[in-house]
Structure 1
Amino acid sequence: MSFIHHFIDQLSELTGRVLAWLSLLMMVLLCLVVILRYGFEIGSIGLQEGVTYLHASIFMLGAAYTLKHDGHVRVDIFYRNFSPRSKAWINSLGGIIFLLPLCVYIFFISWDFVLQSWAIGEVSTEPGGIPAVFLLKSLIPIMAINLGLQALADILRSALVLVEAAND
Protein backbone atom coordinates (compact mmCIF):
# COMPACT_ATOMS: atom_id res chain seq x y z
CA MET A 1 0.00 0.00 0.00
CA SER A 2 2.86 2.35 0.81
CA PHE A 3 4.47 1.71 -2.59
CA ILE A 4 1.31 2.77 -4.42
CA HIS A 5 0.95 6.15 -2.77
CA HIS A 6 4.70 6.83 -3.14
CA PHE A 7 4.51 6.05 -6.87
CA ILE A 8 1.48 8.32 -7.35
CA ASP A 9 3.16 11.08 -5.31
CA GLN A 10 6.26 10.84 -7.53
CA LEU A 11 4.08 11.04 -10.65
CA SER A 12 2.34 14.17 -9.31
CA GLU A 13 5.69 15.68 -8.33
CA LEU A 14 7.13 15.05 -11.80
CA THR A 15 4.04 16.55 -13.41
CA GLY A 16 4.33 19.62 -11.20
CA ARG A 17 7.97 20.13 -12.14
CA VAL A 18 7.17 19.90 -15.86
CA LEU A 19 4.27 22.32 -15.40
CA ALA A 20 6.58 24.79 -13.69
CA TRP A 21 8.63 24.93 -16.89
CA LEU A 22 5.45 25.24 -18.94
CA SER A 23 4.54 28.26 -16.80
CA LEU A 24 7.80 29.88 -17.82
CA LEU A 25 7.12 29.06 -21.48
CA MET A 26 3.61 30.51 -21.16
CA MET A 27 5.02 33.74 -19.72
CA VAL A 28 7.54 34.03 -22.57
CA LEU A 29 4.81 33.43 -25.18
CA LEU A 30 2.55 36.00 -23.54
CA CYS A 31 5.35 38.58 -23.56
CA LEU A 32 6.02 37.75 -27.21
CA VAL A 33 2.32 38.25 -28.06
CA VAL A 34 2.31 41.65 -26.35
CA ILE A 35 5.60 42.77 -27.95
CA LEU A 36 4.50 41.66 -31.41
CA ARG A 37 1.07 43.25 -31.10
CA TYR A 38 1.93 46.58 -29.50
CA GLY A 39 5.54 46.96 -30.63
CA PHE A 40 5.26 45.78 -34.22
CA GLU A 41 1.48 45.68 -34.82
CA ILE A 42 1.66 41.97 -35.66
CA GLY A 43 -1.10 39.75 -34.32
CA SER A 44 -0.82 36.00 -33.98
CA ILE A 45 -3.89 33.95 -33.17
CA GLY A 46 -1.73 30.83 -32.95
CA LEU A 47 0.49 32.35 -30.27
CA GLN A 48 -2.53 33.64 -28.34
CA GLU A 49 -4.14 30.21 -28.44
CA GLY A 50 -0.80 28.69 -27.42
CA VAL A 51 -0.95 30.78 -24.24
CA THR A 52 -4.51 29.57 -23.66
CA TYR A 53 -3.52 25.92 -24.21
CA LEU A 54 -0.58 26.24 -21.83
CA HIS A 55 -2.73 27.92 -19.21
CA ALA A 56 -5.34 25.17 -19.47
CA SER A 57 -2.62 22.51 -19.26
CA ILE A 58 -1.08 24.07 -16.17
CA PHE A 59 -4.43 24.47 -14.44
CA MET A 60 -5.88 21.06 -15.33
CA LEU A 61 -2.76 18.97 -14.88
CA GLY A 62 -1.60 20.94 -11.85
CA ALA A 63 -4.64 20.02 -9.76
CA ALA A 64 -3.09 16.74 -8.58
CA TYR A 65 0.22 18.44 -7.72
CA THR A 66 -1.65 21.09 -5.75
CA LEU A 67 -3.60 18.41 -3.88
CA LYS A 68 -0.36 16.57 -3.08
CA HIS A 69 1.06 19.73 -1.52
CA ASP A 70 -2.22 20.52 0.30
CA GLY A 71 -2.55 23.76 -1.65
CA HIS A 72 -6.30 23.65 -2.29
CA VAL A 73 -8.58 25.97 -0.39
CA ARG A 74 -10.14 24.48 2.72
CA VAL A 75 -11.93 25.83 5.75
CA ASP A 76 -9.06 25.55 8.17
CA ILE A 77 -10.58 27.06 11.31
CA PHE A 78 -10.94 23.72 13.09
CA TYR A 79 -8.80 21.41 10.95
CA ARG A 80 -5.47 23.03 11.82
CA ASN A 81 -5.98 22.26 15.52
CA PHE A 82 -6.92 18.60 15.00
CA SER A 83 -4.64 15.72 15.85
CA PRO A 84 -2.93 13.83 13.00
CA ARG A 85 -5.43 10.99 13.53
CA SER A 86 -8.45 13.34 13.22
CA LYS A 87 -6.93 14.95 10.13
CA ALA A 88 -6.40 11.49 8.63
CA TRP A 89 -10.08 10.65 9.22
CA ILE A 90 -11.22 13.91 7.62
CA ASN A 91 -8.87 13.49 4.65
CA SER A 92 -9.90 9.86 4.13
CA LEU A 93 -13.62 10.48 4.34
CA GLY A 94 -13.41 13.66 2.27
CA GLY A 95 -11.50 11.83 -0.44
CA ILE A 96 -13.82 8.83 -0.46
CA ILE A 97 -17.12 10.71 -0.16
CA PHE A 98 -16.39 13.83 -2.19
CA LEU A 99 -13.21 13.87 -4.26
CA LEU A 100 -13.15 10.38 -5.82
CA PRO A 101 -16.84 10.53 -6.87
CA LEU A 102 -16.25 13.99 -8.34
CA CYS A 103 -13.29 12.70 -10.36
CA VAL A 104 -15.32 9.74 -11.63
CA TYR A 105 -18.19 12.07 -12.53
CA ILE A 106 -15.92 14.51 -14.40
CA PHE A 107 -14.28 11.63 -16.26
CA PHE A 108 -17.54 10.07 -17.44
CA ILE A 109 -19.34 13.33 -18.17
CA SER A 110 -16.44 14.52 -20.34
CA TRP A 111 -15.70 11.25 -22.13
CA ASP A 112 -18.26 11.57 -24.98
CA PHE A 113 -17.44 15.27 -25.35
CA VAL A 114 -13.76 14.43 -25.86
CA LEU A 115 -14.43 11.42 -28.11
CA GLN A 116 -16.66 13.52 -30.34
CA SER A 117 -13.94 16.16 -30.60
CA TRP A 118 -11.38 13.50 -31.57
CA ALA A 119 -13.80 11.92 -34.06
CA ILE A 120 -14.18 15.13 -36.02
CA GLY A 121 -10.57 16.23 -35.49
CA GLU A 122 -11.82 19.48 -33.99
CA VAL A 123 -9.71 22.50 -34.88
CA SER A 124 -9.74 26.14 -33.90
CA THR A 125 -12.48 28.24 -35.44
CA GLU A 126 -10.06 31.15 -35.74
CA PRO A 127 -7.97 31.52 -38.91
CA GLY A 128 -4.37 30.78 -37.97
CA GLY A 129 -5.45 29.08 -34.75
CA ILE A 130 -4.09 25.82 -33.40
CA PRO A 131 -5.60 22.87 -35.25
CA ALA A 132 -5.82 20.67 -32.15
CA VAL A 133 -8.81 21.62 -30.01
CA PHE A 134 -9.34 17.90 -29.44
CA LEU A 135 -6.04 17.80 -27.51
CA LEU A 136 -7.14 20.69 -25.33
CA LYS A 137 -10.43 18.96 -24.53
CA SER A 138 -8.54 15.77 -23.69
CA LEU A 139 -7.15 17.53 -20.64
CA ILE A 140 -10.52 17.19 -18.91
CA PRO A 141 -10.55 13.39 -18.42
CA ILE A 142 -6.77 13.38 -17.91
CA MET A 143 -7.24 15.88 -15.08
CA ALA A 144 -9.91 13.65 -13.55
CA ILE A 145 -7.58 10.63 -13.69
CA ASN A 146 -4.59 12.51 -12.25
CA LEU A 147 -6.63 14.10 -9.49
CA GLY A 148 -8.33 10.78 -8.72
CA LEU A 149 -4.98 9.02 -8.46
CA GLN A 150 -3.64 11.68 -6.11
CA ALA A 151 -6.82 11.45 -4.05
CA LEU A 152 -6.25 7.68 -3.82
CA ALA A 153 -2.66 8.29 -2.69
CA ASP A 154 -3.86 10.71 -0.02
CA ILE A 155 -6.51 8.25 1.16
CA LEU A 156 -3.89 5.50 1.40
CA ARG A 157 -1.53 7.81 3.28
CA SER A 158 -4.32 8.70 5.72
CA ALA A 159 -5.17 5.02 6.12
CA LEU A 160 -1.56 4.33 7.08
CA VAL A 161 -1.74 7.08 9.72
CA LEU A 162 -4.94 5.55 11.09
CA VAL A 163 -3.43 2.04 11.17
CA GLU A 164 -0.31 3.31 12.93
CA ALA A 165 -2.45 5.23 15.43
CA ALA A 166 -4.52 2.10 16.12
CA ASN A 167 -1.36 0.07 16.76
CA ASP A 168 -0.06 2.58 19.34
Structure 2
Amino acid sequence: MDRFADRLDLINRGVGGVVMWMALIMVLVQFGIVMLRYVFGYTSIFINESVLYLHATLFMLGAGYTLLVNGHVRVDIFYAPLNVRKKAMVDIFGHLCLLLPSLGILLYYSWPSVRRSWSILEGPISVGGVPASFLLKTLIPVFCVLLLIQGLSALIRDLIRLGDKA
Protein backbone atom coordinates (compact mmCIF):
# COMPACT_ATOMS: atom_id res chain seq x y z
CA MET A 1 0.00 0.00 0.00
CA ASP A 2 2.86 2.37 0.77
CA ARG A 3 4.25 1.89 -2.75
CA PHE A 4 0.82 2.70 -4.22
CA ALA A 5 0.74 5.92 -2.14
CA ASP A 6 4.24 6.74 -3.42
CA ARG A 7 3.00 6.39 -7.00
CA LEU A 8 0.06 8.67 -6.26
CA ASP A 9 2.48 11.19 -4.75
CA LEU A 10 4.48 11.23 -7.99
CA ILE A 11 1.52 12.78 -9.81
CA ASN A 12 1.34 15.83 -7.56
CA ARG A 13 5.12 15.99 -7.25
CA GLY A 14 5.34 16.30 -11.02
CA VAL A 15 2.52 18.83 -11.26
CA GLY A 16 4.02 20.82 -8.38
CA GLY A 17 7.41 20.89 -10.08
CA VAL A 18 5.87 22.44 -13.18
CA VAL A 19 3.41 24.75 -11.43
CA MET A 20 6.02 26.35 -9.19
CA TRP A 21 7.50 27.99 -12.29
CA MET A 22 4.18 29.73 -12.85
CA ALA A 23 4.88 31.91 -9.84
CA LEU A 24 8.02 33.25 -11.51
CA ILE A 25 6.24 33.67 -14.85
CA MET A 26 3.37 35.46 -13.11
CA VAL A 27 5.76 37.88 -11.39
CA LEU A 28 7.55 38.57 -14.67
CA VAL A 29 4.29 39.18 -16.55
CA GLN A 30 3.06 41.49 -13.78
CA PHE A 31 6.37 43.35 -13.90
CA GLY A 32 5.93 43.66 -17.66
CA ILE A 33 2.40 45.02 -17.19
CA VAL A 34 3.67 47.68 -14.77
CA MET A 35 6.53 48.62 -17.10
CA LEU A 36 4.23 48.82 -20.12
CA ARG A 37 1.66 50.90 -18.25
CA TYR A 38 3.87 53.39 -16.42
CA VAL A 39 6.87 53.63 -18.74
CA PHE A 40 5.24 53.26 -22.15
CA GLY A 41 1.62 54.20 -21.38
CA TYR A 42 0.31 50.95 -22.86
CA THR A 43 -2.25 48.61 -21.32
CA SER A 44 -3.67 45.34 -22.55
CA ILE A 45 -6.68 43.49 -21.19
CA PHE A 46 -5.25 40.26 -22.63
CA ILE A 47 -1.98 40.61 -20.71
CA ASN A 48 -3.80 41.67 -17.53
CA GLU A 49 -6.09 38.63 -17.75
CA SER A 50 -3.10 36.37 -18.34
CA VAL A 51 -1.98 37.14 -14.77
CA LEU A 52 -5.42 36.03 -13.55
CA TYR A 53 -5.08 32.78 -15.52
CA LEU A 54 -1.57 32.15 -14.18
CA HIS A 55 -2.67 32.92 -10.62
CA ALA A 56 -5.65 30.57 -10.86
CA THR A 57 -3.51 27.85 -12.40
CA LEU A 58 -0.83 28.22 -9.76
CA PHE A 59 -3.24 27.86 -6.86
CA MET A 60 -5.66 25.33 -8.33
CA LEU A 61 -3.01 22.95 -9.63
CA GLY A 62 -0.67 23.55 -6.70
CA ALA A 63 -3.21 22.53 -4.05
CA GLY A 64 -2.46 18.81 -4.36
CA TYR A 65 1.27 19.44 -4.05
CA THR A 66 0.65 21.65 -1.03
CA LEU A 67 -1.24 18.80 0.63
CA LEU A 68 1.61 16.45 -0.27
CA VAL A 69 4.18 18.60 1.53
CA ASN A 70 1.77 19.29 4.41
CA GLY A 71 1.64 22.99 3.64
CA HIS A 72 -2.07 23.60 4.15
CA VAL A 73 -3.21 25.66 7.12
CA ARG A 74 -3.98 23.58 10.18
CA VAL A 75 -5.07 24.51 13.69
CA ASP A 76 -2.22 22.95 15.63
CA ILE A 77 -3.47 24.02 19.05
CA PHE A 78 -5.31 20.72 19.44
CA TYR A 79 -3.45 18.60 16.87
CA ALA A 80 0.19 19.19 17.86
CA PRO A 81 0.12 17.61 21.34
CA LEU A 82 -1.60 14.41 20.08
CA ASN A 83 0.30 11.15 19.79
CA VAL A 84 0.88 9.49 16.39
CA ARG A 85 -2.19 7.25 16.66
CA LYS A 86 -4.56 10.11 17.54
CA LYS A 87 -3.10 12.31 14.80
CA ALA A 88 -3.72 9.51 12.31
CA MET A 89 -7.32 9.17 13.53
CA VAL A 90 -7.92 12.94 13.21
CA ASP A 91 -6.41 12.93 9.72
CA ILE A 92 -8.46 9.89 8.64
CA PHE A 93 -11.61 11.62 9.86
CA GLY A 94 -10.64 14.77 7.99
CA HIS A 95 -9.93 12.89 4.75
CA LEU A 96 -13.00 10.67 4.85
CA CYS A 97 -15.57 13.08 6.26
CA LEU A 98 -14.40 16.48 5.04
CA LEU A 99 -11.88 16.45 2.18
CA LEU A 100 -13.06 13.60 -0.03
CA PRO A 101 -16.81 14.32 0.19
CA SER A 102 -16.42 18.06 -0.37
CA LEU A 103 -14.20 17.49 -3.40
CA GLY A 104 -16.65 14.92 -4.76
CA ILE A 105 -19.50 17.42 -4.40
CA LEU A 106 -17.48 20.21 -6.01
CA LEU A 107 -16.50 17.93 -8.88
CA TYR A 108 -20.08 16.75 -9.39
CA TYR A 109 -21.63 20.23 -9.41
CA SER A 110 -18.90 21.97 -11.41
CA TRP A 111 -18.77 19.40 -14.20
CA PRO A 112 -21.91 20.58 -16.12
CA SER A 113 -20.60 24.14 -16.25
CA VAL A 114 -17.19 22.97 -17.46
CA ARG A 115 -18.78 20.70 -20.05
CA ARG A 116 -20.99 23.55 -21.37
CA SER A 117 -18.01 25.88 -21.46
CA TRP A 118 -16.04 23.38 -23.57
CA SER A 119 -19.01 22.72 -25.87
CA ILE A 120 -19.08 26.38 -26.92
CA LEU A 121 -15.35 27.03 -26.39
CA GLU A 122 -16.32 29.88 -24.09
CA GLY A 123 -14.45 33.05 -24.88
CA PRO A 124 -12.80 35.78 -22.84
CA ILE A 125 -14.01 37.12 -19.52
CA SER A 126 -13.63 40.69 -20.81
CA VAL A 127 -13.66 42.06 -24.34
CA GLY A 128 -10.10 41.73 -25.62
CA GLY A 129 -9.17 39.26 -22.90
CA VAL A 130 -7.78 35.74 -23.08
CA PRO A 131 -10.18 33.78 -25.33
CA ALA A 132 -10.16 30.65 -23.21
CA SER A 133 -12.54 30.80 -20.26
CA PHE A 134 -13.18 27.12 -20.86
CA LEU A 135 -9.57 26.41 -19.82
CA LEU A 136 -9.96 28.50 -16.68
CA LYS A 137 -13.12 26.57 -15.73
CA THR A 138 -11.34 23.28 -16.41
CA LEU A 139 -9.05 24.05 -13.49
CA ILE A 140 -11.93 23.29 -11.10
CA PRO A 141 -12.29 19.56 -11.89
CA VAL A 142 -8.53 19.20 -12.31
CA PHE A 143 -8.09 20.78 -8.86
CA CYS A 144 -10.59 18.27 -7.46
CA VAL A 145 -8.92 15.27 -9.09
CA LEU A 146 -5.41 16.28 -7.97
CA LEU A 147 -6.60 16.85 -4.40
CA LEU A 148 -8.58 13.58 -4.45
CA ILE A 149 -5.44 11.74 -5.56
CA GLN A 150 -3.37 13.35 -2.82
CA GLY A 151 -6.14 12.84 -0.26
CA LEU A 152 -6.23 9.14 -1.12
CA SER A 153 -2.46 8.93 -0.76
CA ALA A 154 -2.60 10.69 2.61
CA LEU A 155 -5.46 8.44 3.73
CA ILE A 156 -3.43 5.34 2.84
CA ARG A 157 -0.44 6.66 4.81
CA ASP A 158 -2.65 7.52 7.79
CA LEU A 159 -4.17 4.02 7.77
CA ILE A 160 -0.65 2.58 7.71
CA ARG A 161 0.33 4.85 10.63
CA LEU A 162 -2.78 3.80 12.52
CA GLY A 163 -2.03 0.11 11.89
CA ASP A 164 1.62 0.47 12.94
CA LYS A 165 0.70 1.93 16.30
CA ALA A 166 -2.19 -0.45 17.06
Alpha-carbon distance, 1:144 to partner? 0.5
Q: Distance in 1 between matches of 2:108 and 2:3?
A: 28
Q: Secondary structure at the match of 2:39?
A: helix
Per-residue deviation at 1:141? 0.6
Q: Which residue of 2 aligns with 1:152?
A: 152
TM-score (structure 1 length as normaliser): 0.95
Amino acid in structure 2 at the alignment position of 1:74 = R
Q: Give CA-to-partner distance per residue, 1:77-123, whole Å, 9 cap, x none.
A: 12111111111111111100110001101100100010111111101
Letter in structure 2 aligned against 1:75? V
Alignment TM-score, normalising by the size of structure 2: 0.96
> Hey, what's the Cα distance between the residues in 2 that align with 1:32 and 1:74?
36
CA-to-partner distance for each residue in 1:57-83, whole Å, 9 max, x for gaps?
011111111111121112111211111
Structure 2 match to 1:116: 116
Identity %: 41
Comparing 132-141 and 63-72, the one that deviates more:
63-72
SS at structure 2 position matched to 1:77: helix
- Structure 2: give runs of 5+ residues left out of the alignment: none
What code does the residue aligned with 1:118 have? W
Counterpart residue type for residue 50 of structure 2: G
The answer for unaligned runs of 5 or more in structure 1 is none
Contact 2:36 2:42 in 1 (8 A): yes
- C-alpha RMSD of matched pairs (Å): 1.0
User: Structure 2: how far apart are the matches of 1:88 and 1:30?
Assistant: 42
Aligned residues: 166
Q: Which runs of 4+ in 1 moved over 4 A?
A: none
